[in-house]
Structure 1
Amino acid sequence: MKICLPYFILFLSLFSIETTLAQQKIIPLYEGEIPNSTNTKEDEKQEENEILWITNVQKPTLEAYFPSKRNTNGKAVIICPGGGYHGLAYDWEGTEIAQWFNTKGITAFVLKYRLPVANNVTNKSEAPLQDAIRAIQIVRKNATSWNLNEDKIGIMGFSAGGHLASTLGTHYNTDTKIPNDPYKNISARPDYMILMYPVITMKEKYTHMGSRKALIGNNPSEEIIEKYSNELQVTSETPPTFIVHSADDGGVPVENSLDFYKALKENNVPSEMHLYPTGGHGFGLGLENNHLKSWTDRLNEWLIFLDEK
């Protein structure tokens, strides 16, 4: 059997393109010099025991997970893993969550954001938000080529990643101070937020002190405490929000979610909150707890509700 070479090459090319789209992609947030950073010649660290734990992030990226073309529904979400602003629980609160979203036809991006404790970060408190802003701008700019609806791009965060997600949702107009930024005119406002046992406040009574010290230091001014206490920054323009927390969370008090939900309600922001009596902190998908693991069902129902509004 003879194979016509030009057609065979075309077939291989098309197959290669389809395969590439079907696989996850690593997308650098910045081309060339990374803003608000200095070269310390250090390396990123990855440790894999029960979870993949990443520290000392040097080059922030998005890792993209695409559902099959047949199942895709045009929605997208950017996932911010937690880790107290000291590290990233990258698979537990990142890639495993992305894979779940794919089963619902949603394209997911795991954000490997810079951590304020790293020596390569210049202005500690600004770097995570800079990365989150750039991440959503990249997804929105490429929405058409990735078969996405640019008005259905959300942000999700776990624990300290929940603080970053809620910071984006309340500070999306922040000037990133990037010279000649080609993304400057692209909106960074998420269309919805998903907050999982989030750190919300920087006020001492209910904050997670490890996250607070990493982000704003040991002796922050009252001005910066209020700036990053996101329950104080909610407006009527804050995106619709879905919140999950457990009442017995010993790491991040449930009052973080309660106070944020109260602020959302006072500003007439459509929101839904699910509080579980037990579950502790950092339960991820909750697969080990028959009661908790249904939170993904509630989330899927809420996302469908958003489409119907």
Structure 2
Amino acid sequence: MSRFLALFIILPMTALAGVLDNPITLPLYEGTPPNHQDSSHQEIIESNDRRIFIRQVTTPTIEVRLPAKGNATGHAVVICPGGGYRGLSYDWEGIDVASRLNGQGIAAIILKSRLPDDESNQTPHLSPLLDAKRALRIARHNAEAWGYDSDKIGIMGFSAGGHLASTLGTSFDAGEPEAADPIERHSSRPDFMILLYPVISMRESFAHSGSRSNLLGNSPSDELLERYSNETQVSPSTPPTLLIHSSDDESVPVENSIAFYQACLKHGVETEMHLYPYGGHGFSLAISHGGRLSTWPDRCLEWIKELEL
């Protein structure tokens, strides 16, 4: 009996050697990222009894977390954690959410994007969007190898990460067919968007002032305010969108989601919105809140699986 047990333990570990590379962390770029300039800044990882917060990202990456092959639905989601464009709530709105998606057969790709408020950016507001575009292209380029469909890749964003996600969803491009880098030949358009208590507008009336100043500076031009007020950038080609927000959010007013929802309706974009009366801001999976709010992941998963892509 003991000999059999020893074999049972040794053989599976040998067979799993390649599988244990999951999750995979990859740099977004080979060499120096675009829009980069030399600075003394180095990445800072802050950890407290609640979450991990990453600041001053100079080497943007993606962390790829895949479900078991037998459970895979063919969908993938690039996740943009929030943090007011000052940092990234990497476990709270990244790792834990990825695990929830994996448990339902959905590949999850956590984006650690550059932040605009450090000195390593030439033009601060450009870096986050460049990184989000690159993450979508990499996800699409590797779809077959990572076990999902290249036309079922969505983006999910929380708070300021929701602003980044919705900026990509309204400012994507088709790729460069003649690019030397095959990754750059792919479209950066997400096939669907999931926006959680998102910063949408840069307009004074209901903008999140911290996100706006970190992204655009203290005195942004009217042109920049318009460009990054994403409710004004929706078009018929904006991907299907799910919005989730709480009405008592005092940091990012619910008007942000409502404005984007109305813009989607105006342009014929498939959209769904769930507004909860409680939850405040930054509730992540809402485990501690309980009640209906904690079921938002179920509504989200239902919506993804019923999309006709």
TM-score by structure 2 length?
A: 0.92
With over 3 angstroms needed to count, the CA separation of the structure-2 counterparts of 1:195 and 1:217, relative to structure 1, is: same
Q: What is the alpha-carbon distance in structure 2 between the residues aligned to residue 276 and residue 267 of structure 1?
A: 25
User: Where do 1:263-302 residues align within 5 Å?
Assistant: 263-291=263-291, 292-302=293-303
User: What residue in structure 2 maps to residue 188 of structure 1?
Assistant: 188
Q: Which stretches of structure 1, 4 residues or longer, exceed 4 Å deviation after superposition?
A: 10-14, 179-182
2:143 is the alignment partner of 1:143: yes
User: What residue in structure 2 maps to residue 36 of structure 1?
Assistant: 35
Q: What is the alpha-carbon distance in structure 2 between the residues aligned to residue 157 and residue 43 of structure 1?
A: 25
User: What residue in structure 2 maps to residue 27 of structure 1?
Assistant: 26
Q: What is the alpha-carbon distance in structure 2 between the residues aligned to residue 175 and residue 69 of structure 1?
A: 29
Q: Which runs of 5+ in 1 are unaligned?
A: 1-9
Q: State the SS of the aligned residue for 2:20.
A: helix
Q: What is the alpha-carbon distance in structure 2 between the residues aligned to residue 14 and residue 145 of structure 1?
A: 19
With over 3 angstroms needed to count, the CA separation of the structure-2 counterparts of 1:159 and 1:174, relative to structure 1, is: farther
Q: State the SS of the aligned residue for 1:33.
A: coil
Q: What is the alpha-carbon distance in structure 1 between the residues aligned to residue 303 and residue 213 of structure 2?
A: 34
Question: Number of residues paired by the alignment?
Answer: 295
Q: What is the alpha-carbon distance in structure 1 between the residues aligned to residue 271 and residue 228 of structure 2?
A: 21
User: What residue in structure 2 maps to residue 7 of structure 1?
Assistant: none
State the shift of 1:183 in Å: 2.9
8 A Cα contact 2:169 2:239, kept in partner: yes
Q: What is the alpha-carbon distance in structure 2 between the residues aligned to residue 251 and residue 41 of structure 1?
A: 32
State the shift of 1:174 in Å: 8.6
User: What residue in structure 2 maps to residue 5 of structure 1?
Assistant: none
User: What residue in structure 1 maps to residue 110 of structure 2?
Assistant: 110
User: What residue in structure 2 maps to residue 4 of structure 1?
Assistant: none
Q: Which runs of 5+ in 2 are unaligned?
A: 1-10
State the shift of 1:184 in Å: 2.8
One-letter amino acid of the structure 2 residue matched with residue 46 of structure 1: I
TM-score by structure 1 length?
A: 0.92
One-letter amino acid of the structure 2 residue matched with residue 33 of structure 1: T
Q: What is the alpha-carbon distance in structure 1 between the residues aligned to residue 130 and residue 23 of structure 2?
A: 23
One-letter amino acid of the structure 1 residue matched with residue 24 of structure 2: K
Q: What is the alpha-carbon distance in structure 1 between the residues aligned to residue 282 and residue 134 of structure 2?
A: 26
Instruction: Please tell me the root mean square deviation across aligned C-alpha atoms, in Å.
Output: 1.8
Identical amino acids, percent of aligned pairs: 49
Deviation track 1:34-84 (CA, whole Å, cap 9, x = no partner) reads 110112143200011010010010100001111111111111000000000
2:163 is the alignment partner of 1:197: no
Q: State the SS of the aligned residue for 1:184.
A: helix
Deviation track 1:102-157 (CA, whole Å, cap 9, x = no partner) reads 01100001100000001111111110000000000001001111111000000000
User: What residue in structure 2 maps to residue 249 of structure 1?
Assistant: 249
